[in-house]
Structure 1
Amino acid sequence: MKTAIVLLSHGSRLPEAQATLQKIKTMVSSNITEDFIVEGAALQFNQPDLPASIAKVVKQGATKIIVVPLFLYLGLHMQRDIPEILAKEKIIYPGVSINMSEHIGTDPLLLDIIMNRVRGVSS
Structure 2
Amino acid sequence: MDRGIIILGHGSKAPEALETLKKIAEMVRVSLGDGIVEIASLQFNKPDLPEAIQTVIAKGARKVIIIPLFLYNGIHMQEDIPAVIAEQKDKNPGVEIVLAKNLGADDRIVGVLLDRIKEVS
TM category, shorter:
over 0.9
State how far apart, in whole Å, the 1-side matches of 2:5 and 2:35 are. Answer: 7
1:11 is aligned to: 11
Normalising by structure 2, we get a TM-score of: 0.97
Match of 1:32 in 2: 32
Indicate the residue corresponding to 2:47 in structure 1: 48
Q: What whole-Å deviation, never above 9, does each CA across 1:68-90 have from its counterpart, x for those lacking one?
A: 00000111000000000000000
For 2:70 and 2:35, locate their aligned partners in 1 and report how far apart those are by CA, in whole Å.
22
Q: Which runs of 5+ in 1 are unaligned?
A: none
Q: TM-score, normalised by structure 1?
A: 0.95
Cα distance in 2, alignment partners of residues 32 and 85 from structure 1: 26
User: What is the identity percentage for the equivalent residue pairs of Structure 1 and Structure 2?
Assistant: 47
CA distance in 1, matches of 2:37, 2:105: 24
Structure 1 consecutive aligned stretches of length 4 or more whose deviation exceeds 3 Å: none
Tell me which amino acid in the other structure corresponds to 2:101: E
Superposed CA deviations along residues 69-114 of structure 1, whole A, max 9, x for unmatched, are 0000111000000000000000000110000000111111011000
Structure 2, unmatched stretches of 5+, are none
2:92 pairs with 1:87: no
Higher helix share: 2
1:61 aligned residue: 60
1:110 and 1:14 mapped to 2: Cα distance? 23
RMSD: 0.9
